[in-house]
Amino acid sequence: MARDVRAARDGVVLRLEQGGFVAAEEEADDLLAAADGDGARLDALVARRLTGEPLAWITGRTEFCGIGLQVDPGVYVPRWHSEALARRALARLPADGLAIDLCTGCGAVARFLSTRRPSARVVASDLDERAVACARANGVDAHLGDLFDPLPPLRADVVVGVVRYVPAPDLPLLQRDTLTFESPLSYDGGADGLAILRRAVAGAARVLRPSGALLLELGGAQGDALGGDLAAHGFVDVTAVVDDEGDVRGVEGTLG
């Protein structure tokens, strides 16, 4: 690395460390790459990051399950903790099957599924037009509207969703800066966090084939609370989706 580039990098790392960013070295590398050798641009990008704006909005890129994705400002940045759910959805999707990705955001889960099952059909929905545009830019067949409403009539093998599930009273407890930049539309699950999850269960029961799979991200204790809805809509073999560290990340059920 040339001396002036190293000096610029050291300066960015220091500013990020002083701003309390724990992954300062990695972030500095991403910001330097996005600035592409333009010092003034680098300063502007670092200044944005120091306000707490998501790194992916500044660089325009992120990774999910090893796949590079475009992320536009305002669009939810996919989280690593959703990868366990996406991998379970992949495991349940036949090679020529059909999957629905509810609340697709930038299209991370849908894009992962269609990359790994190129002969499958994957359709997606989101209520936010910035998200739909971003998902389409990522090659996803994304539709604008509420849950299943904007989708064509179809029979699915898999319904997967990283829907909003944070109980409204807990929204102020989200990590620093979250709602300074991101929309409650990505988080607010109503009084008990289950409002969208319940509608997703009911809708999935209408569109899934028998033996089709429903996979929904949720918080640890919400699986039990959703159990009654899953049973009432005919889902059997309901299990928790657990990540590599043993944390519950979602629920999986099969339409009986």
Ligand X SMILES: C[S@@+](CC[C@H](N)C(=O)[O-])C[C@H]1O[C@@H](n2cnc3c(N)ncnc32)[C@H](O)[C@@H]1O
Q: Which stretches of the chain bind ligand X, using CB under 6 A? A: 76, 78, 82, 103-106, 108-109, 125-128, 131, 146-147, 162, 164, 185-186, 196
The least distance separating ligand X from the CB of residue 93, rounded to whole angstroms, comes to: 16
DSSP 166: B
To which residue do tokens 């502007």 refer? Answer: 44
Q: Identify which of residues 13 and 98 has a Cβ nearer to ligand X in the complex.
A: 98
Query: Which is closer to ligand X, CB of 46 or CB of 131?
Result: 131
Which CB, 32 or 58, lies closer to ligand X? 58
> Phi and psi for 107 in degrees, rounded to 5?
90, 20
Alpha-carbon distance 232 to 246, whole Å? 28
Please state the closest distance from residue 193 (CB atom) to ligand X, in A.
Answer: 12
In this structure, the dihedral spanned by the alpha carbons of residues 215, 220, 224 and 225, taken in order and rounded to 10 degrees, is -90
User: What distance in Å separates the CA atoms of residue 92 and residue 115, rounded to the nearest whole number?
Assistant: 15
What minimum distance in Å lies between the beta carbon of 96 and ligand X? 24
Taking the complex as a whole, the smallest distance from the CB of residue 183 to ligand X amounts, in Å, to 7
Please name which of 196, 202, 241 lies closest in space to residue 220, comparing C-alpha atoms: 241
In angstroms, give the least distance from the CB of 65 to ligand X.
11
Residue 26 or 129: the one with the smaller Cβ distance to ligand X is 129
CA distance 109 to 12: 32
Q: Which is nearer to ligand X, 21 or 64 (CB)?
A: 64
**Which residue, 97 or 189, is less far from ligand X as judged by CB?**
189
Rg from Cα positions in the chain = 20
- Residue at shortest CB range from ligand X: 105
- Count of alpha carbons within 13 angstroms of residue 195, beta-carbon side: 13
CB of 30 to ligand X, least distance (A): 18
Q: What is the rounded distance in angstroms from the CA atom of residue 82 to the CA atom of residue 58?
A: 22
